[in-house]
Amino acid sequence: MRRILTWVPILFILFLVQSYFWVPTYEEQTRGNPERLTEYIEASIGDAQILNPILSADSASSTIESRVFEGLIDRDEDLKFRGRLATHWEIFEEAYFYVNDEAWIPNFGKADSKAIIQLLRDAIQGRESRDGPVSQSLANIEDIEALPARSFEVSKEERGTGGATVSLTVRVTAPPRIRLHLREVDQELFDHLSTVLGKEYFSSFDGKRFIEVSPEALSSKKAKYAREFLPATEHNPVIVFHLRPNVKFHDGHVFDAEDVRFTYEAIMNPKNLSPRISDYEPVKAVEILDPLTIRIVYKRLYSPALGTWAMGILPAHLLNAEVLREEGERRGMDPEKFSLRQSQFSRRPIGCGPFRFREWKTDQYILLDRFEDYWEGPPNYERYTFRIVPDLLTQEMEFYAGTVDSYGVQPHQVERLGRDPNYQNFTGLAFGYTYIAYNMRREPFTDRRVRQALGMAIDVDKIIRYVLYNQGERITGPFVKQTDFYNHAIETLPYDPEGALELLAEAGWKKGPDGWLEKDGERLRFTLITNQGNNIRQAILSIAQDSWRKIGIDVRTDVLEWAVFIQERVNKFDFDALILGWAMGIEPDLYQIWHSSQTRPNQLNFVAFQDQEADDLIIKIRQEYNHERQVRYAHRLHEIIAKEQPYTFLYVSKWTAILDRRIVIKEVDSEGEVSYSRIKPTKTGNYGFHFNKWIKLPEIPRFEMEG
Amino acid sequence: MLAFIGRSAIRKLITLFFVSVISFLIIHLAPGEPSQIDPLNPKFTQEVLERFRKEFHLDRPLYMQYLYFYRDLLTGKSLSWKDNRPVLEKIFERFLNSLPLFILGTLITWTLSFPVGIPAAIRRGSLYDRSTTFLAYLLISIPGFFFAYMLIIFVVTRFHVPVIGMETFGISSKGWHFLMDRLWHLLIPSVLGAAGGIAVLSRYVRNQMLEVESQDYVRTAKAKGLPADEVHYKHALRNALLPFVTMFGLVLPGLIGGSVIIESIFSWPGMGRMAYEAILARDYPVILTVNFISAILVLIGTFISDLLYMVVDPRIRL
Amino acid sequence: MTSIENMKTSTVPEGGALEAPRRTLFQENWNQFKRNRLAMSGLVIFVIFFIIAAAGLLLTSGTDPIFDPALVRLQEKLRPPLSAPNFETLKPEEVPRFGIYLFGTDDLGRDVFSRMLQGAWVSLTVGFVAVGIAVVIGVMLGGIAGYYGNKRILNLISVDGLIVGLIDIMLCFPSFFLILTVVALLPASIYNIMIVIGLTSWMGAARFVRAEFLSLREQDFVTAARALGLSDLWIIFRHMVPNAMAPVLVSATIGIAGAILTEAALSFLGFGVPPPHATWGNILSNGKDFLFDAPWLTFIPGFAVLIVVLAFNLFGEGLRDVLNPKLRERH
């Protein structure tokens, strides 16, 4: 017995330990493994959730989706749109208005549709005599036609007085309507036309006259239905995409307009609960003109619309209603409830991107193979691997060992690795900024001077230098710094504690006997909060507290768990000041974060920023399709926000990436000549832009024009 | 016996019911909502949020949510809110990954604890006893992740072999190589996982042995002049082993356990990490199901251990 | 050894029959304990740690503490231990005490020595309060179950059955998972962590006390006390609790060690005691991000936790040996 108890464990342990001799070393795994050169391995701390571009909302999923799926368009090196599945596109507008036969047109009198068309034609002919902008608007009109009067009936449900739903019938007898074809989208068209047809022509149109509601009792709703069915004017921007012929999905099926329409319909299908539904809500109709031409009509002016078509296109033949119903039945689920969300497609997606899906082991890895029939030619790497390594420290060790090619490198590591000759590093500005927000519903933040002073008391450059290790840049406003929309003329807030004290003194806050700032015997005291799990924000929290304490402000701090932070504090406006960050899109649409209508609970303008001019500009930017004009409005908006200082804009962080120096760009020209070059980030800082041309070499290459 | 089983089963069902209620309440009464409903995502309109809430029954009264949830769970239909996969399928997949860790960890614990604990008891107060005592406590006193990092860095810098993950990444080996590769990757995390177990169990073995050694029949055996080994390893050990038989039942809940920390550090896609991520995402179905299954295992475990106790110790009649 | 001493004690009393034995139970135990060198060293470290923690409280709190754990000096970050500060870049009030960074600085340039001092007290508080809560609940529930066990509530279930049922329910929850769930879902605060650890670890104490009470209840001195008409409370707290406390004490000592480790583990996952409180656990888990750049940030708190937890465990083990009469050495 004693012998058993001694020998069994010893043998057991020996058996376990000898497994060491069978394990490949790192050397064998990397340098000793030729296949390793044809594979790109990216480490991630988290797994993807759902590999369907219309459903996913996490960054891991979108990383994979960007390789597997392809959109109609994307952005090129200068962040301009370029065609992918679409070769080219046109944007124009169809504008409508109802003939207002009661309106008095200056120098003319009342007019029917024929007369209106004649008036407009004459105006176009004689446009030279009018103001510049008006004449431009007129010149932009390509064609005018009259649509006859029509009538129709709609049944609606309304909540009655007692809370019960009442169904009613709305009878609409619409007057004739005029349709204008515009060469370009023109948000000021009707303003300009009113110089021709009279100031009141559009605003005096009374839709209620043409509506009957039965039962009569509910005729109070007339105005609402008039707005819905008979808007005096309507802008309908139109995008026509010309699709690329002979593009194949990974299963060989050829892509066409049907897939585009299907993708749109899948997003709008309420069963799928797509988080992108709000992007496509302005779409009025998607019409297939021929298999390679698709026409998208919008209900209203919405300039971010074009950008939404960068969304990955789904294969209709694999996901249409019949296929889904079959899958639901096969898997024993309620076919009525079975939707794209439950479909196995999201676990093994098929798109027409440069890489095709091979295997997904949850929380271990996702493997992609290159797609040999990719329309732009197959990528150089044969495989792309997304490897999940949840711990940053082990990610780092794996990176040194060479078993991953890229990982979430931390600023302090960049400093050290940047000196290593084996690695190349890239850096560029990210699309997001970090800020301190002040609750402008509360004292003392209602005073602009206080907000500005608080900003001036913090040495942001020091934060950037020491907390971010210079991996950040100052920012003065809410636009993406590398786009034209950002107004570079605005200067950053200086670090000036003395000046801050002066501003505070102007606002009535003076040093009391105990050294704290006071006003009317009340100490300047508030709480600064941020969320848990972000070390940098927590560092800023300590620094801000410390800097403010130095000028005599009594600041308390609190770090809250994310959900609590958002739902209990931010959404309910229960905070004085907070540190948070916004991730921005390239589109300059600031409606949700800065428009004064967005200040209710659960909306994003939680600081309650309100400014009439800013509101107007935000709407104008949203409706403007012309880039130069958009830039002009954005610069002015930026100026207003920078002046008001609702946030202390701290910095936009830089992303960094470290790669093995052996990874280079390989290009083959038309004569089959192979050339290698170093990976260079684009002007906007995207180093992975040419990813499909990357390859890893066995040795570090030497380039002639090094430096 | 049958009466005992019947009574016990009823008791355990009642306990299970209360466990399900309590865990449900803890999760639903805590502030915050599932991350699927991310209110800071500008793309989510209020309308979409409402639809999500409806889909997840979050708009219903609490007791209805409870009924919906356990109906779905018991019919095997509950879906994870995070990725819409069936919860049971997800758990089973993770269970298969955690199982080898659990088996090897348990094997190491049970094979090592006895040889460590028994001589310590026999030679009480000796250098061996003191050093094993010290070592055992050392093992349970190191913060787990600190220990793990030290071990990984030691192995990686010393031996240049991979230790992360379930197998060496990117190399597909076959047959024996494959098995040994898996075993090697299992070894370090399961040693780490077993460290605490060895410490506790070997202490327990030692104390159990000490208790038996002081019994009269052992002293009689010694006095009779039987060889020391025979006294210790035959007479004493056999009786000291009795309580351990019943511990087999208590090992059961470990099946669905798994340390988040070790699994995160070693990139091991196990139960612990899934549960942890479910907590972070407030994926209620997964959290509650894991909890429910683990409660069932605990209850079955104690049941088995009660039964074993009756079997090995005929004096006990429940 | 013991036997000789015992002989002595039995031979010494000559004065009178009523004189109490010279050695109290405590002295007896203490002598026994002293001979266990591991346990003794545990106790010594325990006492030293206690002194450090108390000193830490004094030296790091107040508006102008002697060692300021919260002072951020970004330009002085990640300085190795025993390095001298760069006096030129620091204002006079920012220079660390003794003009040296004893344990180096962290990623924000805070003095690690000051933070360790502050953390000692916070970690100790977390351990003591959490275990205190567990012991109070355990003793109360265990005591009630053991003493009033036969009483019935509404004729449905006995008090004992109810409490045992509650214990069973609590044991069904995997404890770390439960703690993690609650800590992750509730607002982060040091109080929540202490309360949650306390509320999830009282079952052991409750069981010990219940078992002990069940047997004590039937013993002569309790029956005698009851016959004398003493109140229940008096009997419980004066006569029964002291007799049942031994195993509770042991598990409490080891429980404190466990609570410190639990806090460290929670810190690793980002759910530990939130700033501004420094604990050894969160110093350690923040430090691990800098393992290759500033190893002292990991090793100093790592070994500190190791040593203190080990001391608690060894001390607890020593207590167990002493207090468990069955395991007393008899030769």
Q: What is the CATH number of the domain that holds C153?
A: 1.10.3720.10
Burial C251-262 (b: 16+ CB within 10 A, else e): bbbbbbbbbbbb
Rg of chain C taking only CA atoms, in angstroms: 25
In a domain, C162, yes or no: yes
Judge: B274–A36 Cβ closer than 8 Å, yes or no: no
Measured CA to CA, the distance from residue A377 to residue A365 in angstroms comes to: 26
Total CB pairs under 8 A between chain A and C: 65
| pLDDT at res. C2 | 37
pLDDT exceeds cutoff 70 at A647? yes
CA–CA distances in Å: residue C22 to residues C2, C33, C167, C242, C323:
15, 18, 42, 21, 19
In single-letter form, the type of residue at position A228 comes to: E
Q: Which residues of A touch C (CB under 8 A)?
A: 392-393, 396, 410, 412-413, 416, 462-463, 465-467, 532-533, 535, 538-539, 541-543, 546, 557-561, 563-564, 568
In a domain, C20, yes or no: no
pLDDT exceeds cutoff 90 at C329? no
| pLDDT at res. C64 | 74
In a domain, C15, yes or no: no
Measured CA to CA, the distance from residue C235 to residue B263 in angstroms comes to: 50
Tell me which range, A157-171, C67-81, C292-306, is most confidently predicted by mean pLDDT: C292-306
What are the tokens at A432? Answer: 């997001």
Looking at chain B from residue 262 to 301, which residues have their Cβ under 8 Å from any Cβ of chain C?
A: 275-276, 279-280, 282, 287, 290-291, 294-295, 298-299
DSSP A670: T
Q: Confidence class of residue C76 from pLDDT cuts 50, 70 and 90? A: confident
Please give the average per-residue pLDDT across A265-274, as a whole number: 88
| pLDDT at res. A58 | 81
Considering its fold, how many domains does chain C have in total? 1
SS3 A300: coil
In a domain, C19, yes or no: no
In a domain, C17, yes or no: no
Is the CB of residue B146 less than 8 Å away from at least one CB of chain A?
no
pLDDT exceeds cutoff 50 at B318? no
Between B53-67, B230-244, B295-309, C120-134, the lowest mean confidence (pLDDT) is in B230-244
C90: region left, alpha or beta (phi > 0 left; psi from -120 to 50 alpha)? beta
Contacts of C290 in chain A (CB under 8 A): 412
Measured CA to CA, the distance from residue B162 to residue A443 in angstroms comes to: 58
Measured CA to CA, the distance from residue A182 to residue B110 in angstroms comes to: 82
pLDDT exceeds cutoff 50 at C324? yes
Measured CA to CA, the distance from residue B221 to residue B230 in angstroms comes to: 9
Measured CA to CA, the distance from residue B186 to residue B262 in angstroms comes to: 12
pLDDT exceeds cutoff 80 at A74? yes
Residue C77 CA neighbour count, 13 Å, CB half: 18
pLDDT exceeds cutoff 70 at C10? no
SS3 A676: strand
Contacts of B266 in chain A (CB under 8 A): 394
In a domain, C1, yes or no: no
Residue of A nearest to C76 (CA): A466
Give the model confidence (pLDDT) of C219-240 as tens digits: 888 888 888 888 888 888 887 8
Between A661-665, A668-672, A682-686, C169-173, the lowest mean confidence (pLDDT) is in A682-686
Judge: B298–C172 Cβ closer than 8 Å, yes or no: yes
| pLDDT at res. A161 | 63
Judge: B84–A341 Cβ closer than 8 Å, yes or no: yes
Q: What is the dihedral of CA A686, A691, A695, A696, to 10 degrees?
A: 50
Pairing mode, strands A472-474 and A423-438 = unpaired
Q: How far is A271 from chain C (nearest CA, A)?
A: 30
Residues 6+ apart with CB under 8 A from B304: B248, B249, B252
Give the model confidence (pLDDT) of A410-445 as tens digits: 767 777 777 888 888 888 888 889 999 999 998 889
| pLDDT at res. C202 | 92
Judge: B15–C168 Cβ closer than 8 Å, yes or no: yes
Residues 6+ apart with CB under 8 A from A386: A42, A44, A48, A60, A63, A64, A365, A366, A367, A368
Please give the average per-residue pLDDT across C297-319, as a whole number: 91
- For A651, phi and psi rounded to 5 degrees? -160, 160
User: B55: closest CA among A425, A337, C19, A309?
Assistant: A337
Judge: A564–C77 Cβ closer than 8 Å, yes or no: no
Judge: A342–B84 Cβ closer than 8 Å, yes or no: yes
Measured CA to CA, the distance from residue A329 to residue A279 in angstroms comes to: 32
CA–CA distances in Å: residue B123 to residues A600, B218, C221, C246, C319:
75, 15, 39, 26, 20
Give the model confidence (pLDDT) of A524-578 as tens digits: 889 999 987 777 888 888 889 888 988 889 898 888 877 778 878 888 888 999 9
Is the CB of residue B144 less than 8 Å away from at least one CB of chain C?
yes
In a domain, C170, yes or no: yes
- For C64, the domain range is 26-330
Contacts of B124 in chain C (CB under 8 A): 329
Contacts of C293 in chain A (CB under 8 A): 412-413, 416
pLDDT exceeds cutoff 80 at A228? yes
Judge: A564–C107 Cβ closer than 8 Å, yes or no: no
Is the CB of residue C268 less than 8 Å away from at least one CB of chain A?
no
Measured CA to CA, the distance from residue B181 to residue A24 in angstroms comes to: 8
Contacts of B287 in chain C (CB under 8 A): 181
- Mean pLDDT (chain A, rounded): 88
- For A76, phi and psi rounded to 5 degrees? -90, -165
| pLDDT at res. B314 | 64
Task: Quote the percentage of chain B above a pLDDT of 70.
Answer: 93
Please give the average per-residue pLDDT across A172-185, as a whole number: 91
- For residues B72 and C2, the model is more confident at B72
> Are residues A93 and A182 in contact, defined by beta-carbon separation less than 8 angstroms?
yes
Is the CB of residue C65 less than 8 Å away from at least one CB of chain A?
no
| pLDDT at res. A4 | 81
Measured CA to CA, the distance from residue A604 to residue C172 in angstroms comes to: 42
In a domain, C143, yes or no: yes
Measured CA to CA, the distance from residue B165 to residue A390 in angstroms comes to: 10
Judge: B52–A273 Cβ closer than 8 Å, yes or no: yes
| pLDDT at res. C325 | 62
Between A648-652, A690-694, C241-245, the lowest mean confidence (pLDDT) is in C241-245
pLDDT exceeds cutoff 70 at B189? yes
Contacts of B51 in chain A (CB under 8 A): 270, 273
Tell me which range, A7-16, A190-199, A377-386, C203-212, is most confidently predicted by mean pLDDT: A377-386
Between A225-234, B1-10, C134-143, C163-172, the lowest mean confidence (pLDDT) is in B1-10
Measured CA to CA, the distance from residue A559 to residue A675 in angstroms comes to: 53
